[in-house]
Amino acid sequence: MFTRSSYIKKRIEMVRVLDKRPSILIKALLWIVADTPRTLHIYKAYRYVASFTNKLMKNIRVKLDYGEFIVPDAQSIWILVHYEKPIVDKLRQVFSRYPELTFIDIGAHIGKYTVLAGRYLRRGFVIAFEPCPENFKYLMLNTKSNNIVNAKLFQLALWNEVKHIKLFVASTSGEHSCKQASEKFIEVLAMPLDAVIFRMDLRDVDIIKIDVEGAEVEVIEGALNTLRRFKPHLIIEVKLYNLHCVFEHLLRLRYGIKILDVQRDHIYLYACPYSDEPLL
């Protein structure tokens, strides 16, 4: 059962991974209050305080066991520390067992999975895509500060054709989307993953993570040759309205599908080629 105390307790757990300077801890305590759900606050007050603390949390350093991250906002702390934690733990085991893999991070945000993969894939290679200029700045900063030298970063949206598309800018850094319209947007370059892989002349693609806020179908359609040729394992965040199309594509490509997690408006899928042993 959800309670205010349980929610705040989880927030306090996250404060423990922050930089321990007093000024940072004060900001973190403000964030605990501000990031409590809307149902526990008057709506206008929540929006004002949340916006204020988002700015306060900008450029705070978050320390995890596999790396340190500079964050652009409060939501990024949640993403780093708690969001998809079971998936992170499973991938860490896979990367430790197979350090020669090639991993592609589509929708890399500020580098959570890119840094994780770069740290453990000592003999492997990481390719990361992030279209938002602000997020990409933090992605570069975090890979550099963690001495990740086996990663190639692209400020690029993946799509099913080469074109400029609208990236709708959300109030939080992890929710920018090419599909979910909002008043504010920027134009970004997009191209199929197949085109990028062809230009890089890669010999292997082993695991692809896709988290693109509703553009899963377009990303998969632009990666069909890559999926047929390399048969990589897939971890995909799928919006519920895309579920049917994503399932159709994967089954047609002879992938087995496992549901990793179910959320309010999306699910996490693990897809493994029929010809392979599951990794997760």
Long-range contacts of 180-186 (CB under 8 A, 24+ apart): 180/213, 180/214, 186/132, 186/133
Q: Percentage of residues in the chain with pLDDT exceeding 70?
A: 80
73-87, 88-102, 126-140, 212-226: least confident range: 73-87
Q: Percentage of residues in the chain with pLDDT exceeding 90?
A: 69
User: Does the pLDDT value for residue 25 go beyond 70?
Assistant: no
Question: Do residues 269 and 246 touch, judged by C-beta distance below 8 A?
Answer: yes
User: From CA 118, how far away is CA 219, in angstroms rounded?
Assistant: 23
What pLDDT digit, counting tens, does each position of 153-175 carry? Answer: 999 999 999 999 999 999 889 99
DSSP state of 171: S
The correct CATH number of 83-273 out of 3.30.420.40, 3.40.50.300, 1.10.287.110, 3.40.50.150 is 3.40.50.150
Average per-residue pLDDT for the chain = 87
What mean pLDDT comes out for the span 12-33? Answer: 54
Q: How far is the first Cα of the chain from the last one, in angstroms, to the nearest whole number?
A: 29
User: Does the pLDDT value for residue 11 go beyond 70?
Assistant: no
- What is the predicted pLDDT for the residue at 52? 64
User: Does the pLDDT value for residue 37 go beyond 90?
Assistant: no
Amino acid at position 110, single letter: I
Q: Which residue has the higher pLDDT, 262 or 115?
A: 115
What mean pLDDT comes out for the span 94-100? Answer: 97
What pLDDT digit, counting tens, does each position of 102-121 carry? Answer: 999 999 999 999 999 999 99
User: Does the pLDDT value for residue 75 go beyond 90?
Assistant: no
- What is the predicted pLDDT for the residue at 82? 85
- What is the predicted pLDDT for the residue at 74? 84
User: Does the pLDDT value for residue 7 go beyond 80?
Assistant: no
Q: How crowded is residue 52: how many other Cβ atoms within 10 Å of its Cβ?
A: 13
- What is the predicted pLDDT for the residue at 41? 44
How far CA 3 is from CA of 6, 7, 143, 146, 264, in Å, comes to 5, 6, 37, 37, 18
With bands split at pLDDT 50, 70 and 90, how would you rate the model's confidence at 78? confident
How far CA 27 is from CA of 16, 107, 115, 145, in Å, comes to 13, 28, 25, 23
> Which residue is associated with the tokens 């599951």?
278
Q: Where are the domains of the chain?
A: 4-79, 83-273
What mean pLDDT comes out for the span 65-84? Answer: 90
Name, in order, each residue with C-beta under 8 angstroms of 167's C-beta and a sequence gap of 6 or more. 131, 132, 157, 176, 177, 178, 185, 186, 187, 188
- What is the predicted pLDDT for the residue at 14? 52
Pairing state of beta strands 207-210 and 233-239?
A: parallel
> Whose CA is closest to 102, among 128, 129, 124?
124
Tokens found for residue 207: 């695991």
DSSP string, 209-254: EE--TT-HHHHHHTTHHHHHHH--EEEEEEEGGGHHHHHHHHHHTT
What pLDDT digit, counting tens, does each position of 52-61 carry? Answer: 666 677 888 9
User: Does the pLDDT value for residue 39 go beyond 70?
Assistant: no
What mean pLDDT comes out for the span 74-98? Answer: 92
Amino acid at position 179, single letter: K
Q: What is the pTM of this model?
A: 0.85
CA angle 8, 9, 10 (to 5 degrees): 90
